Amino acid sequence: MKTLSKKIKQWSAAASIALLASTAALPVQSAPSLYSFREVANPMDAMFTQLLGVNNNGVIAGYYGDGTTVANHGFTLITPNHFFNENVPNAVQTQVIGINNAGKTGGFFVDQNQVTHGFVKTPNGPFATLDAPNTKFNQILGVNDVGESAGYSSTDPAGETLQRAFIHSAANGFTYVQLNVVGIGNSQATGINDAHIVCGFYEDAGGNTVGFLWDKKNNWLKTLNFPGANFTQALGLNNAGQVVGVYSTDGGATTHGFVYSKQSQYISIDEPNSMNLSATLVNGINDRGQLVGFYMDAANDTVGFVATPKTPLW
């Protein structure tokens, strides 16, 4: 399993199977009938923009870059086009992934020695590096409103192997997610809500990618697999229990976003302008059900999008 940023940029995927109590609900209506879409491209590089997190005020976290180098630059955004740069000083790249309702952000940066570190940042405050002890690679992928962050670490300097999902709080430090799956390999925690529910994905013993929801307090695990898919990643969630992510039914040749509700309903999401309706990823959702993500268009450009529900979905 590659790092989240590399996996997204390369649109790669692997087969996955359900190991535990995954749901068998059928997807419901198609995305265009349920959402209004707004496309977003950063004017500094209109060829590569990813929107990755959104809070209840509509403030969005993301990054832009040319997709071929490591020169990625973080930002926050107030639509339609008010971009605010957010880059760790002296870093060679910064990616802003998560944002909470107070405007606190989380993500990762690569320093001049090519080491990847997690970070969190409060509005108008400094960047705070957040690395698990005795590790060589860290990413923060989600933040909630009660002081917790979700991400993963590795003792592999490249972050390609030995990935372990974690949550972090000031009170308890780093806690690794205990998925209790036989033969589990890499795992990443990608989001955490205010009820301490964590979403993410892991690699099973056969190298298959499986989404999950995990509750540390009540010690339960639910696997998430979009019906008919052989690859599912859960990438974000909100306080209503809705989860977003990406799935594939053909080993990654095509990718589609999804929304999952705690009623075990799935909605497939394809940005209307995506290449053959086959290259969409949803990474963030707020409590209003508003989605952010990105898609690849016919020119092979990566374009961000915001999708707003036309009516309440559940």
- Least confident residue range of 13-17, 168-172, 269-273: 13-17
- Least confident residue range of 6-15, 193-202, 239-248: 6-15
Q: Which residues contact 124 (CB under 8 A, 6 or more apart)?
A: none
**pLDDT of the residue at 133:** 97
Report helix, strand or coil for 10.
helix
Residue carrying the six token digits 């092979």: 300
HSE-CB for 131 with a 13 A CA cutoff: 16
Report helix, strand or coil for 32.
helix
For the cut 80, the answer to whether the pLDDT of residue 28 exceeds it is no
Band of pLDDT at residue 68, cut at 50, 70 and 90: low
Give the C-alpha separation, 42 to 82, whole Å: 9
pLDDT tens figures, 103-155: 999 999 999 999 999 999 999 999 999 999 999 999 999 999 999 999 999 99
Mean pLDDT across 179-203: 91
Cβ atoms 20, 287 nearer than 8 A: no
Following DSSP, what letter does each residue of 259-282 receive, concatenated? Answer: EE-TTS-EEEE--TTSGGG-BEEE
Band of pLDDT at residue 204, cut at 50, 70 and 90: confident
The structure's pTM equals: 0.89
Band of pLDDT at residue 69, cut at 50, 70 and 90: low
Mean pLDDT across 227-236: 94
**pLDDT of the residue at 52:** 98
Neighbours of 229 (CB within 10 A): 23
Domain ranges within the chain, ordered by starting residue: 4-309
Cβ atoms 211, 200 nearer than 8 A: yes
How many residues are given for the chain? Answer: 314
pLDDT tens figures, 144-164: 999 999 999 999 999 999 999
Give the C-alpha separation, 243 to 88, whole Å: 29
- CATH architecture designation of domain 4-309: 6 Propeller (2.120)
Give the C-alpha separation, 39 to 141, whole Å: 23
- Least confident residue range of 16-20, 170-174, 271-275: 16-20
Give the C-alpha separation, 92 to 110, whole Å: 6
Q: At residue 251, what is the residue type? A: G
For the cut 60, the answer to whether the pLDDT of residue 22 exceeds it is no
